[in-house]
């Protein structure tokens, strides 16, 4: 090995070490850095229009875009999260006191089953539902306890939350202002051909924008509709269940139905026929239609990912990265498909030569 090769390998090793060390330093504020970058990608087109209107005054355009982001996205989400946590605490207290008993509701449904269904359950060994009832009660208690714990955790870590929030806003401002320069430097540093770099970075930004804007729009719409129908039917905790439906609607196809469908079944089997039919019709024809119409237009059309890939990558991303995973999962899936498409195209080109 000559001196030049040794220096090259040593430099690559140094590059890897300092890059890993830098990532390690950022990990405590991983969420702030991640969402600052995501919001910058989403709001950059608006920033560019403002920049043209403000005679290329970058600081003013970036500050105006930041304020708009605060008003449209961050403040409403913060108020909604606070209301959700407050109602979650109330539901937790009611479950602990026994005022809300999901096991008892389940038992009411089992008792109201027609004879033929009871016989079927007995034949398949599911007649004794006490264990399932206890599991349902414990699951509801643990779920509400998780919300209560998160509320207390946020209250106890207010300083850490404020610091992370400040870092996100600070980073967002500079990513908006200097994003074009950073993008050029990143493109220059990636050791790929110009065409491959352009395609991969374009795919990355497209998927981030489509996933966040599309999924958030679908989630907000389905959550609002679910909360409204629950409130109309007199179901307690409509705001909480609407927020839960919004969160679950991040999962394509199944999402919000995991909440409204069991409630509709409970109504039907306990004699509240019109409530059950109303909720079923509204869930299928209105809430479900939002998912079937908006998601393909806002998410699938731009990302060009099949629904099953979106579902699996979203689930896998959320398991590994928490709430951030609903963006990270589809982005990784899209880059995976794009990279393999490039590889296949390159091989075909080489064969043709």
Residue 122 shares a structural domain with residue 223: no
Residue 42 shares a structural domain with residue 75: yes
Number of domains in the chain: 2
CA distance 236 to 101: 13
Residue 253 shares a structural domain with residue 294: yes
Residue 116 shares a structural domain with residue 223: no
Q: Mark which of 143, 164, 183 sits at the end of a domain.
A: 183
336 in any annotated domain: yes
Residue 276 shares a structural domain with residue 336: yes
CA distance 231 to 77: 21
- Three-state helix/strand/coil letters over 241-291: HHHHHHHHCCCCCCCCHHHHHHHHHHHHHCCCHHHHHHHHHHHHHHHHHHH
Residue 137 shares a structural domain with residue 209: no
Residue 336 shares a structural domain with residue 280: yes
At 152 the pLDDT is 53
CA distance 210 to 219: 13
Residue 298 binned pLDDT confidence (cut-offs 50, 70, 90): low
288 in any annotated domain: yes
The pLDDT mean for the chain works out to 75
Which whole number is the average pLDDT over 6-10?
77
- Asked if the model's pLDDT at residue 128 lies above 70, the reply is no
Q: Kindly report the pTM of this predicted structure.
A: 0.68
| Environment class of 348 (CB within 10 Å of its CB; exposed 0-12, middle 13-18, buried 19+) | exposed
Give the contacts of 92 (CB within 8 A, at least 6 positions apart). 141, 144, 145, 147, 148
Residue 250 near residue 256, CB atoms below 8 Å: no
What is the distance of C-alpha 4 from the center of its chain? 48
- Asked if the model's pLDDT at residue 137 lies above 60, the reply is no
Which of 27, 346, 353 has its CA nearest to residue 196? Answer: 346
CA distance 212 to 204: 12
> Which residue range(s) make up the domain with 103?
27-183
Per residue in 307-329, pLDDT (tens digit) is 777 778 878 887 888 777 878 88
Sign of the C-alpha dihedral computed for residues 215, 218, 224 and 227 taken in this order: negative
Per residue in 181-210, pLDDT (tens digit) is 887 787 777 777 777 777 777 777 877 877
Q: Mark which of 127, 149, 183 sits at the end of a domain.
A: 183
Per residue in 14-27, pLDDT (tens digit) is 888 888 888 888 88
């Amino acid at each position: 090995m000559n001196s030049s090769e040794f220096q090259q390998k040593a430099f690559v090793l140094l590059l890897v070490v300092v890059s890993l060390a830098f990532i390690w330093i950022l990990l405590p504020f991983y969420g702030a850095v991640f969402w600052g970058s995501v919001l910058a990608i989403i709001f950059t087109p608006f920033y560019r229009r403002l920049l043209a209107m403000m005679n290329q005054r970058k600081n003013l355009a970036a500050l105006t875009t930041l304020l708009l982001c605060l008003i449209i996205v961050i403040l409403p989400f913060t108020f909604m999260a606070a209301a959700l946590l407050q109602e979650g605490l109330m539901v937790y207290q009611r479950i602990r006191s026994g005022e809300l008993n999901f096991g008892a509701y389940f038992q009411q449904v089992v008792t109201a089953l027609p004879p033929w269904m009871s016989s079927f359950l007995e034949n398949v060994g599911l007649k004794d539902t006490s264990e399932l009832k206890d599991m349902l009660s414990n699951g509801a208690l643990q779920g509400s306890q998780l919300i209560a714990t998160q509320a207390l955790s946020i209250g106890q870590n207010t300083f850490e939350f404020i610091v992370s929030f400040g870092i996100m806003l600070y980073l967002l401002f500079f990513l908006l202002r200097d994003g074009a320069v950073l993008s050029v430097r990143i493109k220059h540093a990636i050791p790929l051909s110009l065409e491959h770099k352009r395609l991969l970075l374009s795919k990355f930004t497209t998927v981030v924008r489509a996933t966040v804007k599309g999924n958030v729009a679908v989630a907000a719409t389905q959550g609002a509709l679910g909360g409204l129908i629950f409130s109309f039917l007199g179901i307690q905790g409509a705001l909480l269940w609407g927020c839960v439906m919004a969160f679950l609607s991040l999962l394509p196809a199944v999402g919000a139905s995991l909440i409204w469908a069991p409630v509709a079944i409970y109504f039907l089997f306990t004699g509240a026929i019109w409530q059950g039919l109303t909720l079923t019709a509204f869930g299928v024809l209105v809430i479900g239609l939002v998912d079937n119409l908006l998601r393909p237009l806002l998410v699938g059309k731009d990302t060009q990912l099949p629904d099953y890939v979106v579902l699996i990558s979203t689930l896998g991303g959320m398991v590994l990265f928490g709430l951030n995973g609903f963006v990270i999962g589809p982005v990784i899936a899209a880059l995976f498909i794009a990279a393999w498409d490039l590889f296949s195209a390159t091989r075909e080109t080489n064969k043709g030569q």
